RNA sequence: GCCCCUGUAGCUCAGUGGAUAGAGCACUGGCCUCCGGAGCCAGUGGCAAGGGUUCGAGUCCCUUCAGGGGUACCA
């Protein structure tokens, strides 16, 4: 992709003191409004060094600079030096790049095949998949696609919560109140009811918690009865999760969950001991982190069984050996930030230099009417219900507006699911989300369906034109305000992907796609595309095609389909 | 108590230290002899408070206030 700042920076070398190209490049910015120019040099910082007012610096440069290829006009405005590109040349170069790039447009090879582990989704076995789990799943999935697009080898790991005290709780509940045939029929919902009942009863009778811990210890010691129940619960859950992953079309390269590390944890504990990090405190084995301002990281409970941190430490060491990752990214709720800070620090204390490559990507929590979701209290909205409501709503709209559409069911799924995913990825991930059916099922405005609709509109125009876009179009014909704005926005795409990757923030792309769709729709309403003038039509179709490519590529980075007809 | 996050329009949110703080929803009023109205145009309305750093602060620092989260054997 060509870089317009680079063109300008190059031409400025030698004209601003002895600043080199890189230094100049970093000073350049894009004006807030393209009518002010395409690239701008703010002269305020130069003011001190050059002992002139920013205004004078800009004016002098505007007068003295020799003509620059590809630049039509240079203007000094209130301390800024603004560069206006040759629109025809810019448009031509850009559209050619996009049309030739196709579904690869925007991709890069920054990663150069280096591997990145992305740990995401990680639902807990025996708990239903609810709206809260959606966030980790869709954010992680998008980060996976973004990194892959940028040339990384990605390993998506579903670190299933398939080990831990909650199974002890479930076993206790099952043995006390469970019914085998009911569970076989009711599946995960029955398990959830048992889990909720356990917590209700445990509030009255604290001995239940003790019993649960005992059962978990039996699991860790290889007790057959405990393990066979555990396995059964796990199967039921995995079946259920798979339905959701199928709907979302999310896949993983590894399902190595917490239980996978069972027989490796002993080695981790021994290593900690050898390195002199493990100390006993209140009958538990811990790593003291007081001097770093953290509470202790508990490695073994007083009964000798493992914890979350023990398993995460073990998993990280295993993954480094197996994948030799350049980065290992953990997509979990912000509530776990302290936990990650603690065990990242332990990895560092163990002497592993790659501790700096462990990255926690936190996100805000989902609440409903101001109340936190809680599996324990049975206060949940199941993801399956959300997806099926969204699909139902889409089906209704299609039936009303486009009843003859082929593949109605599949398109309804793609749009319904797209609406949910797009909505989840719309805000900065750290922001808490207040769940609202009304908002979720409103497909107007800045939504997935709006972007998908805009994409389908580009496809529809191209198929109506009934011809391939000729690559030899006359760009000087498409230089209106709306057209140039659209072209400029298309140009921004590769940079936005890079931003999304660097910030680990898929919402950068989500918002960009809304902007692009808006620019496209304005262009669409202002200009007729399928006009009689063939050259004009061809030039406009080139813009339409390029827009469609970018919308489609962008949606796919979010894990959303871009159907050609809706 | 201590630590972390958040605070921008009635609501949901954008906003690399730089030019006039932008969208959407909702509400009001327009736009179909026109390529798809899941659309387009217009109106209404805002940086929690107070200090500081800077040529320049919604953005950085400090204080206060408000909401959320975390804080040793859950994950």
- Complex ipTM, two decimals? 0.96
The pLDDT of residue A194 = 86
A51 Cβ contacts chain B strand, under 7 Å: no
Enumerate helices (H) and strands (E) in chain A, giving the number of each. 22, 13
Q: What is the pLDDT of residues A321-369, one digit of tens each?
A: 999 999 999 999 999 999 999 999 999 999 999 999 999 999 998 887 6
Nucleotides of B under 7 A from a protein CB: 3-6, 12-16, 18-20, 23-26, 34-41, 55-56, 68-75
Tell whether pTM > 0.90: yes
Which nucleotide has the least CA–C1' distance to A39? Answer: B19
Q: Which residues of chain A have pLDDT under 50?
A: none
What CA–CA distances, in Å, run from A312 to A32, A256, A347, A505? 45, 12, 10, 24
Find all residues with CB under 8 Å of A115, minimum gap 6, and list them. Answer: A152, A153, A154, A155, A323, A324, A325, A326
* Strand B contact with A46 (CB < 7 A): no
CA of A165 to C1' of B75 (A): 9
- Residue A370: the pLDDT is 61
- Strands A371-372 and A115-119 come out as unpaired
Give the pLDDT confidence score for residue A131 in this predicted structure: 83
Instruction: Confirm whether any atom of chain B, the nucleic acid strand, is less than 7 Å from CB of A456.
Output: yes
Task: State the pLDDT at residue A6.
Answer: 92
Phi and psi at residue A297, to the nearest 5°: -95, 115
Per-residue tokens: A85: 């590109």
CA of A295 to C1' of B1 (A): 15
Nearest residue to A499 (alpha-carbon basis) of A443, A557, A445: A557
Q: Which distant-in-sequence residues (6+ apart) come within 8 Å of A61 by Cβ? A: A12, A15, A16, A41, A43, A74, A76, A81
Q: Distance (Å) from CA A441 to C1' B45?
A: 26
**pLDDT in the model for residue A179:** 85
Residues 344-403, chain A, CB closer than 7 Å to nucleic strand B: 364-365, 370, 372, 394, 397-398, 401-402
Is A463 near strand B, with its CB below 7 A from some atom of it? Answer: no
Strand segments, DSSP code E, in A274-349 are 278-281, 284-287, 297-300, 327-333
Closest residue to B68 by CA to C1' distance?
A432
How far is CA A455 from each of CA A244, A461, A513, A563, rounded to the nearest angstrom? Answer: 26, 10, 10, 8
The CA–C1' separation of A305 and B17, in angstroms, is 51
CB A114 within 8 A of CB A309: no
Q: Report the half-sphere exposure of A201 (CA within 13 A, side-chain side).
A: 19
Q: What is the pLDDT of residue A345?
A: 97
CB A33 within 8 A of CB A49: no
> Tokens 């163990």 — which residue?
A350
pLDDT (0 to 100) of residue A377: 62
Q: Which helix (H) or strand (E) holds A171?
A: helix A165-177
DSSP track, A83-112: EEE-HHHHHHHHHHHHHHHGGGTT---SST
Is A20 within 8 Å of A35 (Cβ atoms)?
no
A30 CB less than 7 Å from any atom of strand B: yes
């Amino acid at each position: 992709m060509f870089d317009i700042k680079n063109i300008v920076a190059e031409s400025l070398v030698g004209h601003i003191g002895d600043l080199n190209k890189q230094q100049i490049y970093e000073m350049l910015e894009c004006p807030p409004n393209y009518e002010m120019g395409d690239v701008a040099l703010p002269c305020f910082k130069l003011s001190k060094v050059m002992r002139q007012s920013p205004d004078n610096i800009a004016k002098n440069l505007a007068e003295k600079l020799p003509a620059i290829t590809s630049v039509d006009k240079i203007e000094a405005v209130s301390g800024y030096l603004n560069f206006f590109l040759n629109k025809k040349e810019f448009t031509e170069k850009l559209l050619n790049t996009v049309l030739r790039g196709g579904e690869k447009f925007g991709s890069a090879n920054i990663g150069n095949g280096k591997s990145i582990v992305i740990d995401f989704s990680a639902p807990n076995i025996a708990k239903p998949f609810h709206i809260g789990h959606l966030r980790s799943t869709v954010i992680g999935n998008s980060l996976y696609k973004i990194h892959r697009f940028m040339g990384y080898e990605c390993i998506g790991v579903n670190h299933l919560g398939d080990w831990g005290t909650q199974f002890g709780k479930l076993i206790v509940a099952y043995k006390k109140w469970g019914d085998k045939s009911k569970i076989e029929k009711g599946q995960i919902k029955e398990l959830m009811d048992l889990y909720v009942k356990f917590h209700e009863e445990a509030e009255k009778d604290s001995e239940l918690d003790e019993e649960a811990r005992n059962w978990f210890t039996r699991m860790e010691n290889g007790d057959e009865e405990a393990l066979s129940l555990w396995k059964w619960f796990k199967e039921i859950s995995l079946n259920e999760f798979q339905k959701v992953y199928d709907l979302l079309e999310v896949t993983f390269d590894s399902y190595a969950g917490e239980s996978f590390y069972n027989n490796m944890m002993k080695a981790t504990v021994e290593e900690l001991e050898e390195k002199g990090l493990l100390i006993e405190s209140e009958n538990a084995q811990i790593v003291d982190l007081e001097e770093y301002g953290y509470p202790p990281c508990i490695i073994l409970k007083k009964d000798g069984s493992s914890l979350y941190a023990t398993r995460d430490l073990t998993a990280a060491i295993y993954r480094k050996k197996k994948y030799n990752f350049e980065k290992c990214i953990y997509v979990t709720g912000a509530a776990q930030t302290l936990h990650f800070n603690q065990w990242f620090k332990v990895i560092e204390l163990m002497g592993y230099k790659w501790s700096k490559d462990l990255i926690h990507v936190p996100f805000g929590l989902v609440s409903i009417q101001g109340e936190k979701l809680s599996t324990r209290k049975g206060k949940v909205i199941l993801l399956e219900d959300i997806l099926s409501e969204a699909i139902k709503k889409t089906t209704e709209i299609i039936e009303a507006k486009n009843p003859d559409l082929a593949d109605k069911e599949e398109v309804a799924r793609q749009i319904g699911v797209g609406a949910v995913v797009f909505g989840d990825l719309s805000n900065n991930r750290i922001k808490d989300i207040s769940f609202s059916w009304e908002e979720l099922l409103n497909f107007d405005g800045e939504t997935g369906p709006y972007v998908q609709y805009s994409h389908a509109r580009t496809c529809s125009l191209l198929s109506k034109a009934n011809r391939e876009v000729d690559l030899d179009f006359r760009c000087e014909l498409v230089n209106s305000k709306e057209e140039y704005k659209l072209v400029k926005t298309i140009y921004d795409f590769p940079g936005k992907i890079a931003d999304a990757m660097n910030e680990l923030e898929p919402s950068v792309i989500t918002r960009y796609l809304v902007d692009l769709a808006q620019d496209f729709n304005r262009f669409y309403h202002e200009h007729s595309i399928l006009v009689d003038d063939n050259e004009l039509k061809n030039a406009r179709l080139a813009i339409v095609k390029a827009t469609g490519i970018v919308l489609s590529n962008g949606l796919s980075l979010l894990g959303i389909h871009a159907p050609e007809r809706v």
